[in-house]
Amino acid sequence: MTLQKKLDATIEKENEISTKILNLCNESEFNVELFKEYILLQDELNCEIMILKQDINDKERTEYIKALSIEIEGDIIITDPCYLMKEDNDWSEILDYAHYSTCDENEILKFNEGFRKITKIKNFITSDTLYGDWSCSVLNTDTNKVIGDFCADAGRVGVFLLDEVLKYNPNFDYHKKRKWTTALIEDFKGIITFDINETPYKYTDSSGEMYQGVERNVIIKGQGNINFIAGMLDIGEE
């Protein structure tokens, strides 16, 4: 059964329970215990509906992000696009196009539209991190050496041509003076793609209730004259 069919079936069950609750309330002899049973079941179904909707949304987002790619040549930087701004107001204007914390297809397209109009930068690829703010590394997969670091303060990540960034904002220097924010890869020629790292988790809170799910975050891959992977990598100590 697909997630959508499971969601439809669960919504139908919840509607049936809602009808039973309504009918029960209209009966002359009110059955308190049955009412409590129905309410408990309704809460469980509503919780399942919420989880299923989130799972469907996550699946759509990850599929779209995995399809993102760009062929690019030159010095590239990996960073949160908020760091590139020439003026604080520029970022606010970009966010007017799309809410930056969402990342379905339409929101990414709207964000990119705003970013392109405000900065005039043409060659780039961006996405939500799916994790929020983070600190990441870039690993050269040919040499197995870390070649840069980057982070996020607005929950987004992108790959940009440095020349275009400097044309928009000549004062940008994070790749020199704040290297933890911006990874620089010089003379890259190849294809940049996005992928998703998925890590199942399970934990029990102080009340004994167990929670489980999947933690997701974006991974950036470069294939060309320099091959690399970038993200929240488990590199370990050398």
Pick from 98, 106, 150, 160: nearest CA to 129: 150
> In this predicted model, what pLDDT tens digit does every residue of 49-79 receive, in sequence order?
887 777 776 677 777 788 789 999 999 999 9
Domain ranges of the chain: 3-66, 71-84+123-231
Q: How confident is the model at residue 80 (pLDDT cuts 50, 70, 90)?
A: very high
Q: How confident is the model at residue 101 (pLDDT cuts 50, 70, 90)?
A: very low
Q: How confident is the model at residue 83 (pLDDT cuts 50, 70, 90)?
A: very high
217 with 130: CB under 8 angstroms?
yes
> CA–CA separation, 50 vs 214, rounded Å?
15
> CA–CA separation, 113 vs 97, rounded Å?
7
> CA–CA separation, 81 vs 53, rounded Å?
29
Angle, CA of 222, 224 and 228, to the nearest 5°: 35
DSSP state, 86?
A: S
What backbone torsions phi and psi does residue 222 show, to the nearest 5 degrees?
A: -120, 130
Pick from 174, 155, 188: nearest CA to 76: 188
pLDDT of residue 238: 42
Higher pLDDT, 24 or 123: 123
> CA–CA separation, 212 vs 203, rounded Å?
6
> In this predicted model, what pLDDT tens digit does every residue of 160-211 receive, in sequence order?
999 999 999 999 999 999 999 999 999 999 999 999 988 887 777 667 767 6
> CA–CA separation, 39 vs 115, rounded Å?
47
| Residue 141 in tokens | 């997969």
Query: Which residue blocks in the chain are alpha helix, DSSP H?
Result: 3-26, 32-66, 88-95, 105-119, 162-168, 174-177
> CA–CA separation, 165 vs 172, rounded Å?
8
